[in-house]
Structure 1
Amino acid sequence: MSSPPAAAPRTGHRLVAAPLAVPRPLAADAAQRRVIEHPGGPLLVLAGPGTGKTATLVEAVAARVEAGADPRSILVLTFSRRAAAELRERITARLGPTGAGRGPQAWTFHAWCLAVLRAHDRPAPSGGFRLLSGPEQDSRLRELVEGSREDGRPAWPESLARCLGTRGFTEEVRALLARAREVGLEPVGLAQLARRTARPEWTALAEFYEMYLDVFGFEGALDYADLVHRAALVAEGAAAGEELRTRYQHVFVDEYQDTDPAQERLLRALAGGGGNLIAFGDPDQSIYAFRGAEVAGLLDFPQRFRAPGGGQAPIVALRTCRRMAPGPLL
């Protein structure tokens, strides 16, 4: 029997993370100072490419921490994991060594919503909540559609008979369910809409929608649209909603033009009624309408999020481009 291989000799070397370089405070212009020094309540910041939007957001967060705000009371939301990671790194670097490990956290909307459900949604499924990927959701939807054809529930109309087994039908059903969740439309509401418009296809889809929620709810499985909808319901509740509003005293949202109605509902529950919500966005960069994003949420922000006195939320436009010479901007 051969002896086990000898362990590799220790070299005395170990990997050490490089220290974060502390950047200089932002040399802000007048518009950026208005954002950084905003006294409270909602604020809309219009910022095109290269206007220092991210630097202004980071500096505004740092200003509140330096003024004594608990870092855990500051919530920063964005849309991609990459953007959230960059914001975390820049906020930590701006706060310096004393901010490492205690600085405000930047989250994607979906990651934060999942954390809210795991902390507050009761009773939770026995196996906990599980977020489905797009391909996994498509696969489960095809299984449910096929099962419904065999069980005869729902009773799909003859007009859909030839397309029930196709991938295109599954994609259309997925898109409809996502839009229904984003606008807060429950199965009973879809059924009522189907009766008013005399659409038998929608009647069957309403029944399928209810079955879909029952099956996925039992499994603890969530798609992205349902995740935000469920988190909004939690934030609108009395006990959990009050706890969330008490905890998060300052809310920052990047790329606000990409929000959908469900995400706006969530923000209204979290920071409506004059709460400290600073939203950064650019209507010219709204490209996710196919995912349910509505640029109207950005354009109507001053009316939808009122200042503490009841007036419209103020607007600050960052107009100085630091990325390009004037020529390309024309």
Structure 2
Amino acid sequence: MTKRLTWEQKSIVSHDTGHALVKAVPGSGKTTILVKRVERLVKTGTDPRSILILMYNKSAQVSFTEKLKTALMSSVIPEIRTFHSLALKIVGYGERQQIIKKKDLITPSDYRYEQLVKQAYCYGFDHEANFIDPNEIENFELFIARCRAAAVTPVDAANDPTFSNIKREFIRAYGRYCELLEENSLRTFDDCLVEAVALLRNDSSLGAHFKHIIVDEYQDVNLIQHDMTRLLSKSDTSVMAVGDVNQCIYEWRGARPDFIGGLFEKHYPNTKVFQLSCTFRFGHELSLMANSVIRRNSTKLTKLCVS
């Protein structure tokens, strides 16, 4: 990308306060623009500690942190986290305050997690452990992830007609899965999101020091992450969401591209919408081909990619 900013980029960097939605095509330099925006906020007097930046994964978080450190040339930088790491921080606070029960964190690679999922599946499907189809276990784990992404409890799943096409055994197994987590004082990263949102709902002072919240890859957030962002946002907080509805790749795990496709503006009054329509990643021919393909998808927003 060139060093000189386009007028679209300049308008985002210079945006002061108020909610904003940035719709960015691939290769439009959004990371550079976000760094420059934060740099401008800090240089014009905003306390770095009042800025929260949420990245979609650990790799993006680490990369953005290094770029921002270089730009600010300071040991005091904004809080840069993934949704999961922020949720873990909030849950840790809840444990220390004895608001919630202390539990061990387990990951999908943890032997305890594997055994717990198998036990729950066997309970739901009345199976012997030796006769489990690995593909069915994978489907069950995906079902759990989608339920957690939408904050759906086993009772919700059992009573919600939208789950009528789901195997009832999955819902039964999901109920047992939740029971086993509680019985063994365990939680996953997805559980942290659910518990963090509950804590934020019960204590409006949590996150009150954040005056600017920037969320990258907003097309891939799910309901629980969207709720977390809303609860962290107070009356004097400016939220900027950045993403591209045409690049949503996690709908199968519960991502909701409609948040960036219209619901963000509904949930955040007086949102200013910015476009990053110029790509620096490829040339005119590929841009035209991409536009031709995207236009055939009636569920996506009309946004021209130019190069």
With the length of structure 2 as denominator, give the TM-score of the two structures: 0.81
Q: Pick from 39, 59, 72: which aligns with 1:82? A: 59
Q: How does 1:61-210 map to 2 (within 5 A)?
A: 61-96=38-73, 99=74, 101-121=75-95, 122-126=98-102, 128-134=103-109, 136=111, 137-146=113-122, 148=123, 156=125, 165-193=132-160, 197=164, 201-202=167-168, 204-210=169-175
Q: Pick from 23, 26, 41: which aligns with 1:46? A: 23
Cα 1:63/1:170, change in 2 over 3 Å: same
- 8 Å contact 2:20–2:274 — kept in the other structure? yes
Cα 1:320/1:165, change in 2 over 3 Å: closer
Aligned pair count reads 283
Give unpaired runs (5+ residues) of structure 1.
1-25, 149-153
Cα 1:293/1:76, change in 2 over 3 Å: same
1:298 paired to 2:274 = no
Q: Pick from 284, 298, 306: which aligns with 1:326? A: 284
Letter in 2 for 1:242: S
Cα 1:304/1:134, change in 2 over 3 Å: farther
Whole-angstrom distance in 2 between the partners of 1:248 and 1:140: 38
Question: For residues 38-62 of structure 1, what are the alpha-carbon distances to aligned partners after superposition, in whole Å with 9 as ceiling and x for unaligned?
Answer: 2322211011122110011011111
Cα 1:163/1:269, change in 2 over 3 Å: farther
- 8 Å contact 2:233–2:239 — kept in the other structure? yes
Letter in 2 for 1:191: A
Whole-angstrom distance in 2 between the partners of 1:80 and 1:195: 30
Cα 1:36/1:187, change in 2 over 3 Å: same
Whole-angstrom distance in 1 between the partners of 2:58 and 2:154: 32
- 8 Å contact 1:138–1:171 — kept in the other structure? no
Q: Pick from 30, 33, 37: which aligns with 2:14? A: 37
Task: Say which SS state the counterpart of residue 141 (structure 1) adopts.
Answer: helix
- 8 Å contact 1:273–1:306 — kept in the other structure? no
Q: Per-residue deviation at 1:233?
A: 1.6
Question: For residues 5-27 of structure 1, what are the alpha-carbon distances to aligned partners after superposition, in whole Å with 9 as ceiling and x for unaligned?
Answer: xxxxxxxxxxxxxxxxxxxxx64
Whole-angstrom distance in 2 between the partners of 1:73 and 1:213: 36
Q: How does 1:189-268 map to 2 (within 5 A)?
A: 189-193=156-160, 197=164, 201-202=167-168, 204-237=169-202, 239=203, 241-244=204-207, 246-268=208-230
Question: For residues 228-258 of structure 1, what are the alpha-carbon distances to aligned partners after superposition, in whole Å with 9 as ceiling and x for unaligned?
Answer: 2222222222x2x3221x1221111111111
Q: Per-residue deviation at 1:130?
A: 0.8
Question: For residues 92-127 of structure 1, what are the alpha-carbon distances to aligned partners after superposition, in whole Å with 9 as ceiling and x for unaligned?
Answer: 10002xx1x21113212212211111123544544x
Whole-angstrom distance in 2 between the partners of 1:115 and 1:61: 23
Task: Say which SS state the counterpart of residue 35 (structure 1) adopts.
Answer: helix
- 8 Å contact 2:88–2:189 — kept in the other structure? no
Letter in 2 for 1:315: V
- 8 Å contact 1:46–1:280 — kept in the other structure? yes
Task: Say which SS state the counterpart of residue 192 (structure 2) adopts.
Answer: helix
Whole-angstrom distance in 2 between the partners of 1:201 and 1:50: 42
Letter in 2 for 1:181: R
Whole-angstrom distance in 2 between the partners of 1:196 and 1:257: 24
Q: Which residue of 2 aligns with 1:12?
A: none
Cα 1:301/1:193, change in 2 over 3 Å: closer
Task: Say which SS state the counterpart of residue 92 (structure 1) adopts.
Answer: helix
Letter in 2 for 1:168: N
Q: Per-residue deviation at 1:279?
A: 1.0
Whole-angstrom distance in 2 between the partners of 1:95 and 1:162: 55
Whole-angstrom distance in 2 between the partners of 1:328 and 1:117: 45
The answer to which of 163-172 and 26-35 deviates more is 163-172
Q: Per-residue deviation at 1:329?
A: 2.3
Whole-angstrom distance in 2 between the partners of 1:257 and 1:225: 18
Q: Which residue of 2 aligns with 1:15?
A: none
The answer to which of 46-55 and 274-283 deviates more is 274-283
